[in-house]
Amino acid sequence: MMEAKDGQAWLGTNGYGSRREEDGVCHDDSATPVRANTVDELHSLQRKPQVVEDRHRLQLQSISASLASMTCGIGPKLVNGDPARKKEMAGKAVTHHQHHITVPTITVSDSDLKFTHVLYNLSPSELYEHAIKYEKGSFITSSGALATLSGAKTGRSPRDKRVVKDETTDDLWWGKGSPNIEMDEQTFLINRERAVDYLNSLDKVFVNDQFLNWDPNNRIKVRIISARAYHSLFMHNMCIRPTYEELENFGEPDFTIYNAGQFPCNRYTHYMTSSTSIDLNLKRREMVILGTRYAGEMKKGLFSVMHYLMPKKQILSLHSGCNMGRGGDVALFFGLSGTGKTTLSTDRNRILIGDDEHCWSDNGISNIEGGCYAKCIDLSQEKEPDIWDAIKFGTVLENVVFDEHSREVDYTEKSVTENTRAAYPIEYIANAKIPCVGPHPKNVILLACDAFGVLPPVSKLSHAQTMYHFISGYTALVAGTEDGIKEPQATFSACFGAAFIMLHPTRYAAMLADKMNKHGATGWLVNTGWIGGR
């Protein structure tokens, strides 16, 4: 391609606008030049291979099926690309006006006449552009990270989480003490329809096709359909990013999220207690989000799904950080959000496998996620240099406060929330292990942020003591992690993650005891809170 004098790109018949010389004879390939005003027009002139066109068509068909309405026909027609760019291109095209007047006969629903543009697996740069241009409250900070706001909800809403109770979920943990609040399938479909109708009403939706679990034998394909670029970038960072070849052969997802968090649920719908609802249907392999834009609901919702699917394969799912010494010794760090999992697992002297969610199979340990979700309150370069360095272009900063002119973030400021967060790909940590897998753990460390100063700093545990502390899960719920929590509160969270487990805690504890005995792991209790009284 050469630049013409009038600023237009010229293409010769060989597609390169060049002259080639063979056997001493100069062949002019620049005959019959084709002009294009923009790169998009230039690309449109280049014929796509049929296999690529077929793949795009199948992608759209699959996404269209995901967004199909249960009651209103098939939903809108889905097309690839940014509607703003298509309008811009259409404005430059020459239009020929015809004066024929016709009266169309409409035999389909209004939704069938609408086009919704699918923005499929966009790059971080593209998502930055969409967030800054269209989403109020999105800015680039001095480090290059994207700062954004999650709206009124700045933490998870566990009391608004529902799970469909049906014949496939008889073995779930139900009843007193369980985080699983039941709903029926009809109510789920009502909320699903509300979410799908909202997404179908938009000019564009963001679609991510990604993976969970770095163990290739047990990975899960997930599709996230959302309305915000910020949510798409968040999940791009937090899930495992497929290669181009893997994306071409992705096929149908194993689980789908419909994130319509900008739109509330109907509070008069059965089982609803507020305008927020996070609904899981394990039989349909679907999750619906209404009434909250806090991105952590997607991450933890998928974690709940893994807590259901993995034990069925005799794989233990764990709410833990994980790192490995240079000699291959793996350590697990159990604990609730804010107790130190991310900080302790991100150690410059050890290799990071993951900061929050893992699976322990017969092959060893594997990270569920492709990124880290670190708390940012009081973050400093001196105390946590690796996390500090990871906050750069591509990282999402949630609900932080920054200087209006310099765009430097004040991590001590908590006027929006104490639960300020950074979501970044795991490879942003210099000593991360890619792929994020390791041998069987040698140390199992239970973290308790004790708000009352009762627990000793470090305790070595027998296997029986390890199971006791694992099932009881004593810690303090720290401010900001959940909506409405302002001060530390003593709590007992089974398996150090009761909000996410799907089966009875003893099921996970029995699997942990079996694996620790089999592989000779040692249990520890570490107090990351107050020592020696308040």
**Which 3 state secondary structure label does DSSP give 126?**
helix
Query: Do the domains 119-139+151-313 and 316-371+430-527 sit in the same CATH topology, yes or no?
Result: no
According to the model, what pLDDT value does residue 56 have?
85
- Flag whether pLDDT at 402 surpasses 90: yes
User: pLDDT: is 482 or 450 the higher one?
Assistant: 450
Q: State the residue for tokens 């949630």.
A: 398
According to the model, what pLDDT value does residue 15 have?
40
- Flag whether pLDDT at 112 surpasses 70: no
User: pLDDT: is 236 or 111 the higher one?
Assistant: 236
Confidence of residue 91 (pLDDT cuts 50, 70, 90): low
Average pLDDT for 421-437: 97
Contact by Cβ (8 Å): 135, 230: yes
Confidence of residue 11 (pLDDT cuts 50, 70, 90): very low
Residue of 352, 369, 332 lying closest to 447 (CA atoms): 332
The pLDDT > 90 percentage for the chain reads 71
Average pLDDT for 457-480: 89
- Looking at domain 316-371+430-527, its CATH class is alpha beta
According to the model, what pLDDT value does residue 454 have?
87
According to the model, what pLDDT value does residue 175 have?
92
Neighbours of 68 (CB within 10 A): 13
Give 483's DSSP letter. T
According to the model, what pLDDT value does residue 18 have?
42
Spacing of C-alpha 234 from chain mean position: 5
246 CB contacts (<8 Å, ≥6 apart)? 211
Neighbours of 386 (CB within 10 A): 20
Confidence of residue 443 (pLDDT cuts 50, 70, 90): very high
- Catalytic positions are 156, 300, 319, 337, 341-342, 356, 421
DSSP annotation string for 270-285: TT--SS-EEEEETTTT
According to the model, what pLDDT value does residue 12 have?
39
175 CB contacts (<8 Å, ≥6 apart)? none
pLDDT tens-place string over residues 505-525: 999 999 999 999 999 999 999
Rounded CA-CA distance 148/330 in Å is 35
Average pLDDT for 15-26: 43
According to the model, what pLDDT value does residue 481 have?
58
Supply the mean pLDDT for the chain.
88
- Flag whether pLDDT at 107 surpasses 90: no
Confidence of residue 531 (pLDDT cuts 50, 70, 90): confident
According to the model, what pLDDT value does residue 76 have?
82
- Specify the pTM: 0.86
- Flag whether pLDDT at 289 surpasses 80: yes
Rounded CA-CA distance 284/280 in Å is 9
- Flag whether pLDDT at 98 surpasses 70: no
- Flag whether pLDDT at 149 surpasses 90: yes
**Which 3 state secondary structure label does DSSP give 105?**
coil
User: pLDDT: is 455 or 84 the higher one?
Assistant: 455
According to the model, what pLDDT value does residue 94 have?
47
Rounded CA-CA distance 398/419 in Å is 8
Neighbours of 277 (CB within 10 A): 28
Q: Please check whether the domain covering 119-139+151-313 is classified as CATH 3.40.50.1220.
A: no
- The domain spans of the chain are 119-139+151-313, 316-371+430-527
According to the model, what pLDDT value does residue 152 have?
94
Contact by Cβ (8 Å): 481, 419: yes
**Which 3 state secondary structure label does DSSP give 52?**
helix
According to the model, what pLDDT value does residue 338 have?
76
Confidence of residue 60 (pLDDT cuts 50, 70, 90): very high
Average pLDDT for 102-116: 63
Backbone angle region of 520, left / alpha / beta, with phi > 0 → left and psi within -120 to 50 → alpha: left
The winner for highest mean pLDDT among 39-53, 62-76, 433-447 is 433-447
According to the model, what pLDDT value does residue 45 have?
60
Rounded CA-CA distance 61/57 in Å is 6
**Which 3 state secondary structure label does DSSP give 271?**
coil
